[in-house]
Amino acid sequence: MMKDIATPVRTKAILEKYGFSFKKSLGQNFLIDLNILNRIVDFAELTVNSGAIEIGPGIGALTEQLAKRAKKVVAFEIDQRLLPILKETLEPYPHVKVIHEDVLKANVNQVITEEFGEDQDLMVVANLPYYVTTPIIMKLLTDQLPIRGIVCMLQKEVADRIAAAPGTKDYGSLSIAIQYYTEAKTVMIVPKTVFIPQPNIDSAVIRLTKRPEPAVKVTDEEFFFTVVRASFAQRRKTIFNNLSSHFAQTIEKKNIEKALHAAGIDPKRRGETLSIEEFGRLSDELVSHLDVNKAKRI
């Protein structure tokens, strides 16, 4: 019986055998705590018929635990130096496939079609490289993948922002962008001591459960996100001032005020106090006042 990868002794032995050195530019921090890995997999609620997609498998510590519970695992790894290591460490698991590709450039929907059965229960489970956490999560959500959700480890500060509620200091456009597609919950805090090398910050595991429909129904999704970003442009400013600055060329101030009142929002409020539903109403009111011809020229 092979020993688990995720122990300090086995991890160090594997790294030494291959003369592997960590690349800071790739945000490589490998987990060496089996209990935490098992809890991450627990949060994904996989069955023997589930499929799992992993991003950045490293030397295969999390991949191995996923392979013990899922029907099939597909892992995207960008670092070519890890491919021979993964070939060895994951040899006992023929139902694991490693794809050497940057997930941000990959056609993940096509990979899912080719690698997983139709209507298979699918979860993304990953210890994400911290420098690209947000772009990866946003890509997975906006690509409209047929997944049940995402369980991922990321820096605690980003997890706090993703799961934040209106009226809190962490609540912002990222909270809304992700909560639009999912229900977000931080399920575990992870100390820096369980990684090789140790990062400078604490981490958290967040569970994103995909909503059957977006949190709000809006006339124009792209415009909705524009309104959200504009509302947080300067946090100390009122929503009226932020929107007036952003739409100076395309919506008259009096129409911004009209739209706010029609949506039931006091123009003196700040963006961080608005719920996602309020942003939805506001976006639909504002879009009716948008000077489309001017907007196209900007």
127 annotated binding-site participant: yes
Instruction: Confirm whether 176 is domain-assigned.
Output: yes
Please check whether residues 242 and 206 belong to one and the same domain: no
Please check whether residue 3 lies inside any domain of the structure. Answer: no
Residue 215 lies in a domain: no
Q: Based on the fold, state whether residues 81 and 169 are members of the same structural domain.
A: yes
Final residue of a structural domain among 152, 177, 210: 210
- Within a domain: residue 125? yes
Residues 243 and 170 in one domain: no
What band does 293 get if pLDDT is binned at 50, 70 and 90? low
Asked if 194 and 232 sit in the same domain, the reply is no
Residue at 216 is within a domain = no
Determine if residue 88 is labeled as part of a ligand binding site: no
Residues 54 and 189 in one domain: yes
Contacts 24+ apart (CB under 8 A), 251-260: 251/286, 251/289, 251/290, 251/291, 252/289, 255/286, 255/289, 256/286, 256/289, 258/285, 258/289, 259/285, 259/286, 259/288, 259/289, 260/285
* pLDDT band with cut points at 50, 70 and 90 for residue 292: low
Q: Which of 182, 210, 238 is the last residue of a domain?
A: 210
Residue-wise pLDDT for 102-137, tens only, equals 999 999 999 999 999 888 999 999 998 888 899 999
Residues 171 and 40 occupy one common structural domain: yes
Q: Are 125 and 52 in contact (CB under 8 A)?
A: yes
Query: Are 61 and 141 within one domain?
Result: yes
Contacts of 31 (CB under 8 A, 6+ apart): 6, 37, 58, 61, 62, 127, 153, 194, 195
Identify whether residues 253 and 174 lie together within a single domain: no
Domain harbouring 267, CATH code:
1.10.8.100
Assess whether 174 and 263 both reside in one domain. Answer: no
For residue 69, give its domain range.
Answer: 8-210
Nearest to 200 by CA among 191, 208, 212, 209: 191
31 annotated as ligand-binding? yes
What are the pLDDT digits (tens) for 55-103? 999 999 999 999 999 999 999 999 999 999 999 999 999 999 999 999 9
255 annotated to a ligand binding site: no
Residue that is last in its domain, among 210, 242, 260:
210
Q: What is the pLDDT of residues 142-189, one digit of tens each?
A: 999 999 999 999 999 999 999 999 999 999 999 999 999 999 999 999
State the total domains in the chain: 2
Percent over 90 (pLDDT), the chain: 79
Q: Are residues 130 and 154 in the same domain?
A: yes
Whether 77 has a binding-site annotation, put simply, is yes
* Residue 190 and residue 251 in one domain: no
Is residue 102 annotated as involved in ligand binding?
yes
The answer to whether position 126 is within a domain reads: yes
257 lies in some domain: yes
Q: What is the CATH number of the domain that holds 152?
A: 3.40.50.150
pTM value surpassing 0.85: yes
Cβ 176 vs Cβ 276: under 8 Å: yes
pLDDT score of 297 more than 50: no
Based on the fold, state whether residues 177 and 91 are members of the same structural domain. yes
Residue 1 lies in a domain: no
